[in-house]
């Protein structure tokens, strides 16, 4: 391999992170950082890596978009028959990762994924562009397909099927809320002395905060 990966390095100098800068609740702290990421106009600030695991322990990852945030957790939507959907049904323990490289920040979330109600999923589904609604119906997500033309032919069939009417929520599609019990906020630091703070949920509903060594 011709590329010298060992020599690729840079310093992280955008700023530090101190305990007194942090909110007592990690959701509040995340909202502050998300607002700053949006204002900084970084690409896809809501993109997050979702990691799940199969029943035999094989982890898998993919990028999904954060579509909701409240005091209870992080919301995303997907095909429930996809690989991630099947893994979440068998093992709802997941982690999320927000890689905000240009801000030299990362956020890690560990929690439990819970299915949203059909009513919640339907509200979001019908807020999507009609083309995206058709795509949700057309894709047997994570299954093999012989060609893109086969997929597009299915889309055209669905366009005719639902022509002139509202597109119903597919029974195999819906949302999840990840309820966090641990969150880490990472800010890059000079000489690899990064600032890391980990929140852990306690039985009384409060959160502890620990500084982690880099």
Domain with residue 82: its CATH number is: 2.30.110.10
66 known ligand binder: yes
Identify which of 188, 186, 206 has the alpha carbon closest to the alpha carbon of residue 197: 186
CA distance 157 to 202: 52
Helix (H, G, I), strand (E, B) or coil at 37: helix
58 known ligand binder: no
Question: What is the chain's percent helix, strand, coil content, to nearest 5?
Answer: 30, 35, 35
86-123 pLDDT per residue, tens: 999 999 999 999 999 999 999 999 999 999 999 999 99
86 known ligand binder: no
Active-site residue identified among 123, 161, 192, 211: 192
Domain that holds residue 179: 19-121+173-211
User: Which is more confident, 16 or 31?
Assistant: 31
Question: Is 192 an active-site residue?
Answer: yes
For residue 26, tell me if it sits in a domain. Answer: yes
Confidence of residue 13 (pLDDT cuts 50, 70, 90): low
176 known ligand binder: no
Q: Taking 80 as the threshold, does the pLDDT of residue 5 lie above it?
A: no
Per-residue buried b or exposed e for 64-78, using 16+ beta carbons within 10 Å of the residue's own CB: bebeeeeeebbbbbb
Q: Taking 80 as the threshold, does the pLDDT of residue 138 lie above it?
A: yes
196 known ligand binder: yes
* Number of folded domains that form the chain: 1
What is the end-to-end Cα distance of the chain in Å, rounded? Answer: 30
For residue 202, tell me if it sits in a domain. Answer: yes
CA distance 202 to 214: 24
Q: Is 191 left (phi over 0), alpha (psi -120 to 50) or beta?
A: left
Q: What is the pLDDT of the chain when averaged over all its residues?
A: 93
For residue 144, tell me if it sits in a domain. Answer: no
For residue 127, tell me if it sits in a domain. Answer: no
65 known ligand binder: yes
Question: Residue 143 CB: number of other CB atoms within 10 A?
Answer: 10
Give the total residue count for the chain. Answer: 214
CA distance 95 to 131: 30
């Amino acid at each position: 391999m011709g590329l010298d990966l060992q020599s690729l390095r840079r310093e992280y100098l955008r700023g530090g992170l101190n305990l007194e800068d942090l909110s007592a609740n990690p959701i509040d702290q995340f909202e502050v950082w998300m607002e700053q990421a949006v204002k900084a106009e970084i690409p896809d600030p809501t993109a997050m890596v979702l990691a799940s695991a199969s029943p035999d322990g094989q982890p898998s990852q993919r990028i999904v978009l954060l579509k909701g945030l409240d005091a209870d957790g992080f919301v995303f939507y997907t095909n429930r028959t996809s690989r991630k959907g099947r893994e979440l049904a068998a093992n709802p323990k997941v982690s999320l990762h927000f890689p905000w490289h240009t801000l030299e920040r990362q956020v890690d979330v560990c929690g439990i994924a819970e299915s949203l109600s059909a009513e919640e999923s339907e509200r979001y589904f019908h807020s999507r562009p009609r083309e995206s609604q058709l795509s949700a119906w057309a894709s047997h997500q994570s299954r093999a397909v012989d060609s893109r033309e086969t997929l597009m032919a299915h889309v055209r069939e669905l366009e005719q099927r639902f022509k002139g009417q509202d597109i119903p929520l597919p029974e195999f599609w819906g949302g999840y809320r990840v309820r966090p019990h641990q969150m880490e906020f990472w800010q890059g630091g000079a000489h690899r002395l990064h600032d890391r703070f980990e929140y852990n949920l306690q039985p009384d509903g409060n959160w502890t905060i620990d500084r982690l060594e880099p």
